[in-house]
Amino acid sequence: MNARLAAALLALAAVAPGADARHADERQAARDTEFDRLRLVNAGHDRGATALGLHFGYVEADTRPSEGAYVCGALRRDEAEAAATTVAGALSNLPDAALARLRLRYVVLCGGATEFGRSIGGIPVAPLDLLMLDASGDGASLQHRTLHELYHLLEYRFGGISDAEWAGQFGGGYSNAYPGLLRKAPLGSGRPGFVTSYGETHPHEDRAELFAWLVLAPREVAGLIQRTGDAVLRRKAEFLSDKCQRVIGLQIALPP
């Protein structure tokens, strides 16, 4: 055996155990999430996600998990790595204890996501402890989308997306229809009482939009309420703050 071949075999032996472990982790993740051939990536240097046991995955070909209604579009590895870092940054806005109570284990990143062919921002799957997210667009939109879908996970985890108390206080004004996927509707784009125009579609979308903005930009939300004198939006923010504190111990109160 020549020296060059011997060196190559030694190098292969050195990396094989790590590769074997990664492939084993990916096979387990594919079984857990029902995404065939799921690949795993690191979220940059985010140690918080690792400590919480959170895994980021992607698919290299368009995939329909469990032959259901949803399709997750393919990503390249470098795209998935960048998106994982962005999503981890969004999740880092929440204390570890609050995230732990949500029991999120997997974030599957997609190059576009659809439900029955309709574009969606993502979907929470509480029984499988995962979020599927459309990872396209700019970083700010992806961070907002992450927290929006995380709030849906919260509601599915703790009682479903119907909230009778919310309906009793803020039940009117919804179109109860989706006009199409809106990419991070701007703060203040909604009618009075709504933080964005996308919040006008359904009550659960209203709450998810308000949650994302309160986590990412609480001072901007407070400024909007102060400028417009929107008492309904203030009451909605207070309602959501109380609910998050009660359910997962998260404080998202409006700044003074």
- β-strands 106-110, 130-134 pairing: parallel
2 confidence band (pLDDT: 50, 70, 90): very low
Predicted pLDDT of residue 17? 44
Q: Tell me which residue of 92, 152, 89, 90 sits closest to 120, measured CA to CA.
A: 152
Predicted pLDDT of residue 182? 55
Predicted pLDDT of residue 183? 62
Q: Which of 212 and 2 is assigned the larger pLDDT?
A: 212
Predicted pLDDT of residue 226? 96
Predicted pLDDT of residue 132? 98
Each residue's pLDDT tens digit, 175-205: 998 876 556 789 999 999 999 999 999 999 9
DSSP letter, residue 254: P
Q: Determine what percent of the chain is predicted with pLDDT higher than 70.
A: 88
Predicted pLDDT of residue 47? 57
* CB-CB contact of 144 with 89 (8 Å): no
Quote the CA–CA distance of 54 and 205 in Å, as a whole number. Answer: 25
CA torsion sign, 137 to 139 to 144 to 149? positive
11 confidence band (pLDDT: 50, 70, 90): very low
- φ, ψ of residue 107 in degrees (nearest 5): -120, 115
Predicted pLDDT of residue 94? 95
Is the per-residue pLDDT at 61 higher than 60? yes
Domain spans in the chain, listed from the N-terminal domain onward: 22-160, 185-256
* Cβ-based neighbours of 23, under 8 Å, separated by 6 or more: none
Predicted pLDDT of residue 181? 53
To the question of pTM greater than 0.75 for the whole model, the response is yes
10 confidence band (pLDDT: 50, 70, 90): very low
| Tokens, residue 114 | 């659809």
| Tokens, residue 226 | 């102060």
Is the per-residue pLDDT at 7 higher than 50? no
Mean pLDDT over all residues of the chain? 89
| Tokens, residue 102 | 């949500």
Is the per-residue pLDDT at 1 higher than 70? no
H or E element at residue 216: helix 203-216
Q: What is the mean pLDDT of residues 13-29?
A: 71
- Encode burial over 21-57: b for 16+ CB neighbours within 10 A, e otherwise: eeeeebeebbebbbbeebbbbebeebeebeebebbbb
Residue whose tokens read 């998106």: 83
Is the per-residue pLDDT at 6 higher than 60? no
